[in-house]
Structure 1
């Protein structure tokens, strides 16, 4: 029997389980550069004071359309919104605006600080809906891996406490991809907690599955068939904790922890179609 630290480090080190991960990241970079060259977009819009508090906005072809906000993963300590521009075209072509948010990476920022930055990003978007011509009553948040944790935290946020001009139901829906919703195992995964510095007292305030949703926002989940048992367990945790609003878990038997993002970005894929269905249902 492996000790706890060894077990969780093995279970959560997704890149170690994907030998061709450098190729996947390179492909994402190329596809994202292509998306930025060929699609209208506004880059590095500041939603706060820190250098990491920036977002990219990809408008769709029609006015007053819904907004999909995508939060990237990377264990809160790596990657960038620009790595995920390739996601936008599948949704802008379907009549949905897309915003991709950045945040200050760990260890420069703690997870608690990163959560606050994402609260600021969504509040900024809501307050600037008229300027960027999207419907503030139809904001759906999506995230991958650590980004799915942050997306879930947005679904648990008490928005009127954060700003008295913000509605309780600011987030109308969620798409949670291969996320981590209980941080207890993460603090035992040495390969990442060296940067995150999670302690026992951090777990409850930062684990969305231990919180109620702040309002009845419907959401979908997904994780890849080639992911570790822990990512499956984490997905089941949030689906069960918030089961009254869980729409579907999309089966992705061929996907790993990274290629799930390709499925999300592929027009006509079941995951992309379920996401569009969820967004359209917010009308």
Structure 2
């Protein structure tokens, strides 16, 4: 899906920029800009794939290309994953945080509106998007806390996100992907599960929207349902959109009704 970077860039070179936020080959993002003069609201896209290196940001190309037609800039990020040198704990988290905060550096050149940034992630990327909303709550000595003040998000949209790592570990999702990500079991490193899981860090104080299909066989809808219940109990402003019959991947099909519904939610958060 998506083709090579060269082919992709050739299609959209007039509004597409590949930009490094770090020195590692996987520390980069793709910035898509609308034709309007700006300042542009921004959606940061974080792909899924159970945090593993087999999957990359090409999963989100279609969503990025659609967002710019709606007058919204898209920052589609790559990051070190399980199997990449420096990936998993803590590198995956540090990369996603650094990519997000890098928007503030890009903002003057590319006319980005830092008051209107929404993080959108799918599957494992949904987990990371929700974690971005909570990371300001991390203990000062956390290995995944950065020195830079976190960029304040306008909202978060999780598309079938793995938003509770403890529950996902108990369910052995993705053939124990959470244990690979955190490089330990829940019993071995409970603190990592507390710091890395959005469900354990609530409340974030940032509006969140969860979109999940009832026919999802990769990440069961019960994870979003339980998270929404916990978030509401913590006083969070949260919406759960349950899509009857929708599977895991229809949520990132730019031609799907599920994505059209998601875009409406994004625009509401950006308003």
Query: Taking structure 2 as the reference length, what is the TM-score of the superposition?
Result: 0.80
Between 1 and 2, higher relative CO (CA 8 Å, sep ≥ 6) is seen in 1
In 2, the alpha carbon distance for the partners of 1:46 and 1:219 equals 28
Name the structure 2 match of 1:53.
27
In 2, the alpha carbon distance for the partners of 1:191 and 1:183 equals 13
In 2, the alpha carbon distance for the partners of 1:110 and 1:116 equals 10
Q: Which runs of 5+ in 2 are unaligned?
A: 139-144
TM-aligned CA deviation for residue 241 of structure 1: 2.6
Name the structure 2 match of 1:191.
175
Name the structure 2 match of 1:92.
68
1:66 equivalent in alignment to 2:41: yes
TM-aligned CA deviation for residue 273 of structure 1: 3.9
Q: Secondary structure at the match of 1:52?
A: coil
Task: Describe the shift of the 1:144–1:123 C-alpha distance in structure 2 as closer, same or farther (beyond 3 A).
Answer: same
Name the structure 1 match of 2:141.
none
Q: Secondary structure at the match of 2:76?
A: strand
In 2, the alpha carbon distance for the partners of 1:223 and 1:32 equals 30
TM-aligned CA deviation for residue 165 of structure 1: 5.6
TM-aligned CA deviation for residue 35 of structure 1: 6.4
8 Å CA contact retained: 1:59, 1:92: yes
Name the structure 2 match of 1:179.
161
Q: Secondary structure at the match of 2:102?
A: helix
Name the structure 1 match of 2:99.
121
TM-aligned CA deviation for residue 110 of structure 1: 1.6
In 1, the alpha carbon distance for the partners of 2:71 and 2:25 equals 30
Q: Secondary structure at the match of 1:89?
A: helix
Name the structure 2 match of 1:203.
193
Indicate which of 215, 237, 246 corresponds to 1:226: 215
Task: Describe the shift of the 1:225–1:35 C-alpha distance in structure 2 as closer, same or farther (beyond 3 A).
Answer: farther
8 Å CA contact retained: 2:125, 2:161: yes
TM-aligned CA deviation for residue 224 of structure 1: 1.4
Name the structure 1 match of 2:128.
150
TM-aligned CA deviation for residue 44 of structure 1: 3.3
Task: Describe the shift of the 1:69–1:230 C-alpha distance in structure 2 as closer, same or farther (beyond 3 A).
Answer: closer
In 1, the alpha carbon distance for the partners of 2:9 and 2:246 equals 25
Q: Which runs of 5+ in 1 are unaligned?
A: 1-27
Name the structure 1 match of 2:142.
none
Deviations 1:141-181 (A, max 9, x none): 000010001001101021997455655xx111011011112
Superposed counterparts of 1:93-108, under 5 Å: 93-108=69-84
- Tell me how large the CA RMSD over aligned residues is: 2.9
TM-aligned CA deviation for residue 210 of structure 1: 0.9
